[in-house]
């Protein structure tokens, strides 16, 4: 068995049975906040499930990449892996969040300049194309890799060891420290990060739905198609006030259509 330090969790604790269970529970609880966010959206702007999956899966893949990178980096030294993971996580949630926002802005500017429509975050075509989703996932992973590289370089700055002792040095139980590091703190921070990043990468799609009724949302498109058929129908060229009343039923329509033809003959 790996030697356990006097304070903090031992080497390999993050990938132990209890650690893996906490990570699975964290993934379910944190990702459920994205489902809650979808139901909190206005009904006229609510994304279909397929679009929602395309948007949120990019975050899921990026979060898994960052998580396993943090677990790998935390076991590289003989220091307490729990405190190292917590430091990585805090840096990802602060400086890393700023880097992700900057990366999304830069990539979006390049994509708009090159006119790569399907690489715009949140735009998948009509009908949605899986190829657009794959391309956006690759771009988002590149942003996350850039963010993690910068954070790893920041960790070379001396002084992080003292911060480790301050953060978790007062917790005597290794399991309690593991719960705080792998579930409690990440759940709170990830819920906020997922909400913010989802709003950032879905913004273009929401603007499109608001400005363009002919988007991928079915209800406005069906409503406009029905209105266009009514306006272009050759049988509905008579008085507009009477045609509005004819919609109530087939018998009413036939009677109203006969009445204006009779008056024209007279």
**CA 26 to CA 196: how far, in whole Å?**
18
Q: What six digits make up the tokens of 173?
A: 């139980």
What is the DSSP secondary structure assignment for residue 238, as one 8-state letter?
S
Tokens found for residue 99:
């880097």
Decide if 41 is inside a domain: yes
Count of domains observed in the chain: 1
* Residue 133 located in a structural domain: yes
Average pLDDT over the chain, rounded to whole? 74
In-domain check, residue 231: no
Q: Which of 46-50, 64-68, 145-149 has the lowest mean pLDDT?
A: 46-50
Within-domain flag for 55: yes
pLDDT reported for residue 164: 67
Query: What pLDDT, on the 0 to 100 scale, is given for residue 36?
Result: 86
Domain span at residue 168 reads 13-203
DSSP state of 119: G
The tens digit of pLDDT for each residue in 206-242 reads 444 443 434 444 444 444 444 445 444 444 444 444 4
- Residue 170 counted as domain residue: yes
Higher pLDDT, 155 or 172: 155
Indicate whether 137 belongs to any domain: yes
In this model, does residue 188 exceed pLDDT 90? no
Torsion angles phi and psi, residue 248, rounded to 5: -65, -30
What's residue 223's pLDDT? Answer: 46
Q: 90: pLDDT confidence band, cut at 50, 70 and 90? A: confident
Distances (CA, A) of 134 to 71, 107, 201, 237, 263: 26, 15, 15, 49, 63
Per-residue 3-state assignment (H helix, E strand, C coil) for 152-197: HHHCCCCCHHHHHHHHHCCCCCHHHHHHHHHHHHHHHHHHHHHHHH
Q: What is the pLDDT of residue 176?
A: 85
Task: Indicate whether 146 belongs to any domain.
Answer: yes
Q: Look at the block and give the residue holding tokens 């990830």.
A: 190
Q: Residues 31, 64: contact at Cβ < 8 Å?
A: no
Question: For residues 243 and 66, which has the higher predicted lDDT (pLDDT)?
Answer: 66
Instruction: Name the least confident of 43-47, 78-82, 88-92, 139-143.
Output: 78-82
- Look at residue 229 and tell me if it is in a domain: no
The structure's pTM equals: 0.65
Q: Which two tokens stand for residue 82?
A: 């729990």
Q: What is the pLDDT of residues 110-162, one digit of tens each?
A: 998 988 888 888 888 888 888 989 999 999 999 999 999 999 898 888 777 67
């Amino acid at each position: 068995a790996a030697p356990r330090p006097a304070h903090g969790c031992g080497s390999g604790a993050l990938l132990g049975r209890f650690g893996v269970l906490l990570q699975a529970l964290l993934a379910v609880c944190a990702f459920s906040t994205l489902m809650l966010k979808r139901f909190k959206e206005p009904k006229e702007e609510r994304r279909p499930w397929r679009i929602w999956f395309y948007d949120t899966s990019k975050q899921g893949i990026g979060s898994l990449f960052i998580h396993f990178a943090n677990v790998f980096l935390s076991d590289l030294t003989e220091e307490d892996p729990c405190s190292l993971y917590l430091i990585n996580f805090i840096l990802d949630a602060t400086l890393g969040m700023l880097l992700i926002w900057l990366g999304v802005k830069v990539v979006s500017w390049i994509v708009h300049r090159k006119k790569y429509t399907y690489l715009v975050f949140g735009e998948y075509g009509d009908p949605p194309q899986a190829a657009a989703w794959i391309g956006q996932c690759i771009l988002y992973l590149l942003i996350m890799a850039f963010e993690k590289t910068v954070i790893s370089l920041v960790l070379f700055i001396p002084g992080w060891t003292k911060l480790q002792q301050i953060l978790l040095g007062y917790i005597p139980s290794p399991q309690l420290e593991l719960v705080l590091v792998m579930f409690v703190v990440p759940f709170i921070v990830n819920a906020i990060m997922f909400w913010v990043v989802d709003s950032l990468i879905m913004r273009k799609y929401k603007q499109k739905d608001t400005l363009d009724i002919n988007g991928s949302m079915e209800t406005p498109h069906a409503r406009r198609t029905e209105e266009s058929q009514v306006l272009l129908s050759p049988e509905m060229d008579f008085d507009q006030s009477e045609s509005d009343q004819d919609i109530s039923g087939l018998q009413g329509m036939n009677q109203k259509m006969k009445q204006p033809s009779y008056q024209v003959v007279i």
